[in-house]
Structure 1
Amino acid sequence: MRDLQGFVSDYIKGKKHLHLEIGVITKGDVEYHSLGNPKKKSVAAPEHRLFEIGSVTKLFTSILLLELEREQQLSADDTVGKYIHNGKNDYLNKVTLKSLATHTSGLPGVATNLSSKKNRYNPYSNYTEDDLLAFLSDADFTDQMGSFEYSNTGVGLLGYILCKVSGSTYDDLLRKYITGPLNMTETAAMLNAEQNGRFVDGHTSTGKKMPHWDTGVHEGAGAIKSSLHDMCLFVQANLNEDHPPASAIQQSHMPIMIGDSTHHYAWFSDNISDQNILWHNGGTFGFSSYLAINKEQSIGVVLLSNYCFGSASIVDEYLDTIFKFITKKDLYPLMPLDPVGNEILEAMMQR
């Protein structure tokens, strides 16, 4: 696609530190596009720069669940209580691993004992395994079970259980089941020194530089860092079945009935131009990501940005509110990445 500028012009506007990397995937072909206004040159080629992909990590965690189930190390229908032995909480004996992966466990988006006041710009960094277990010891969200509520707590807990069952680190699981077989050598939760040299700085919507996130016990919900090159490999793996994790990946695409509603293992499903797409997005205080596929035409798109949607600074929010009241315009216009990705994919589908 040669006319991407028209899709991204509004998003690029005003972002003077922006790295925006876009991958366009068609049958057997990948195009890399690098756009933005970075003042600082990167040591790596655009497609090999590393970004936080945030909640796109949840796709990987769900595939890991299905891989461990395939090996009969566990079942997606196992309850959390089978693996968390810190109390006599009946709620944990009702919630399944499947419900964690599909956001139907009733668990809140953020645990009630997680306070961002300890490290406002890196909110998960001080939350420990003991904190998670303390929260679960008397958690009871039975009334919300079966209904969709997007939960970092739930998928973080799922990643924790997968590591516990397998006796492996999260990165070890990624390498064994996904990134190793797919040759995704630039994808990890914990980066080595060489990879850190290609890790770009993240920024709020106001342009303020943010620290990279440390997700700790929540790593299954959002710890992965990756490159455009690797994420395009991941999209290709979701569009064909000629690789080792194909069975688990394809299973993650299948709709699951929970109660009266249809859900997926981490994926979201929508229609564009009367065709189904599967997608997920991600965001930290310094990065945004978006990934979508259309299996009918075997196409996909990946967008990685080192700007978040919104601002992590309450001062910036106040300034923007005052500016908007006086001028009727946003000082820091909030432009999410998802609509840009949707428009690109829709244009691909129409062609």
Structure 2
Amino acid sequence: MRDLQRFVSDYINGKKHLHLEIGMITKGEIEYHSFGNTQKKSAAAPVHRLFEIGSLTKLFTSILLLELECQQQLSTDDTVGKYIHNGKNDYLNKVTLKSLATHTSGLPRLATNLSSKKNRYNPFSTYTEDDLLAFLSDAVFTDQMGSFEYFNTGVGLLGYILCKVTDCTYDDLLKKYITGPLNMTETAARLNAEQNARFVDGHTSTGKKMPHWDSGVHEGAGAIKSSLHDMCLFVQANLNEDHPLASAIQQSHVPIMIGDSSHRYAWFSDTISDQEILWHNGSTFGFSSYLAINKEQSIGVVLLSNYCFGSASIVDEYLDAIYKFITKKDLYPFTPLEPVGKQILEAMTLR
């Protein structure tokens, strides 16, 4: 796309450590684009650099749920209480795996006993299985059940349950059911030494280098690292019905009724030029990601960035607030990645 530069110019401005990788998929054909710091040496070609994809992980966890149901290892209508054996909380006997995948269980965005004070820049690293079970033992959010409330807690719990049901690690499940069949060899929650060498540094929007996240028991909500190459394969699989995972993936696209509203397994929907798109985004304290597909035209887009939207530093937030109060301008303009991806997909739709 000759005019791609105009879509990314505002986003790349001022980001001296930036790696922005963009994949555009049209009827099975992939077009790769790379923007950012070309002066800095890298251990890998742009399409094979590894990024934290954050909440794009939730798409994988939902597909794992649906594939395990196809394998008759569980049901999406099973309750959490069926698998959390040390809990006598009746609320857990009402919450289903389906409600975890669709953000309708009533659970909060973050568990009430998760504190970022222990490690502000790596907030999930110290949260253990015992912490999760302690939270669930007296969690009661019955009044919010059926209503949409985006959360990490619930999908993290879903990933934890899937591992318990199968007696596998999250990476084992990914390799067996998704990354193996789709030949996504550069995608994992926990990286080996060779993969770590291709893992780029993440930054806040102010340019501050951030530590990589350790998701621990929340792996299912945001632990995956991947490359542009692999994420384009994932988009292709979502646009193609001729592969082993087609049934589960296609099922994740179909809206289901929960209460009076329709929801999907992890996906969000929007409209571009009167055509439906399915999308999701992801963010950690050093990375941003965006993925969207238009099934009607068989096109899709992936964006991976090693800058996040915003800053994890309280000092940055205070300085920005003071500067804005005095000058009426942002000291640190926080540019999100999603509008860039949506504009690119819209241009692909119209051409």
TM-score band, normalised by shorter chain: over 0.9
Amino acid at match of 1:259: G
- Scaled by the length of structure 2, the TM-score of the pair is 0.99
Contact 1:61 1:220 in 2 (8 A): yes
- Per the alignment, residue 253 of structure 2 pairs with 253
* Aligned-residue offset at 1:85: 1.1
Answer yes or no: is the 8 Å Cα contact 1:18–1:38 preserved in 2: no
Which secondary structure does the structure 1 equivalent of 2:33 belong to?
Answer: strand
Question: Which amino acid letter does the alignment assign opposite residue 235 of structure 2?
Answer: V
**What is the CA deviation profile of residues 16-47 of structure 1, one whole-angstrom value per residue up to 9, with x for unaligned ones?**
10000000000121010000135522110000
The whole-number CA distance in structure 1 between the counterparts of 2:262 and 2:27 is 29
Give the secondary structure class of the aligned counterpart of 1:20.
Answer: strand
TM-aligned CA deviation for residue 2 of structure 1: 2.0
Which residue is equivalent to 1:313?
A: 313
Amino acid at match of 1:285: F
The 5-angstrom pairing of residues 1-351 of structure 1 reads 1-37=1-37, 39-351=39-351
CA distance in 2 between counterparts of 1:168 and 1:91 reads: 26
Q: Is the 8 A contact 1:16 1:39 kept in 2?
A: no
State the distance in 2 between where 1:37 and 1:208 align: 15
What CA distance in whole angstroms lies between the structure 2 residues aligned with 1:190 and 1:77? 30
SS at match of 1:116: coil
Question: What is the alpha-carbon distance in structure 1 between the residues aligned to residue 316 and residue 348 of structure 2?
Answer: 37
Q: Give the TM-score, by structure 1 length.
A: 0.99
Contact 1:61 1:159 in 2 (8 A): yes
- Paired with 1:317 and 1:33, the residues of 2 have a C-alpha distance of 32
CA deviation string 1:154-200 (max 9, x = no partner): 00000000000001000000000000000000000000000000000
User: One-letter code of the match for 2:63?
Assistant: I
Alpha-carbon deviation of 1:57?
0.1
Q: State whether residues 256 and 264 of structure 1, in contact with CA within 8 Å, keep that contact through their aligned partners in structure 2.
A: yes
1:3 deviation in Å? Answer: 1.4
Number of positions where the alignment pairs a residue of Structure 1 with one of Structure 2:
351
The SS at the match of 2:117 is helix
Deviations, residues 135-158 of structure 1 (Å, cap 9, x unaligned): 000000000000000010000000
Distance in 2 between the 1:77 and 1:329 partners?
Answer: 50
Which 5+ residue runs of structure 2 have no aligned equivalent? none
Query: 2: distance between equivalents of 1:70 and 1:279?
Result: 24
SS at 1:105 equivalent? coil
1:274-308 deviation per Cα after TM superposition (whole angstroms, max 9, x unaligned) = 00000000000000000000000000000000000
Distance 2:9 2:83 in 1: 49
| CA displacement 1:297-332 (0-9 Å, x = unmatched) | 000000000000000000011111111122221111
Letter in 1 for 2:71: E
CA–CA distance in structure 2, aligned partners of residues 339 and 105 of structure 1: 29
Deviation at 1:87, TM superposition (A): 2.2
User: What is the rounded CA distance, in whole Å, between the counterparts of 1:308 and 1:320 in structure 2?
Assistant: 16
**Alignment-mate amino acid for residue 77 of structure 1:** D
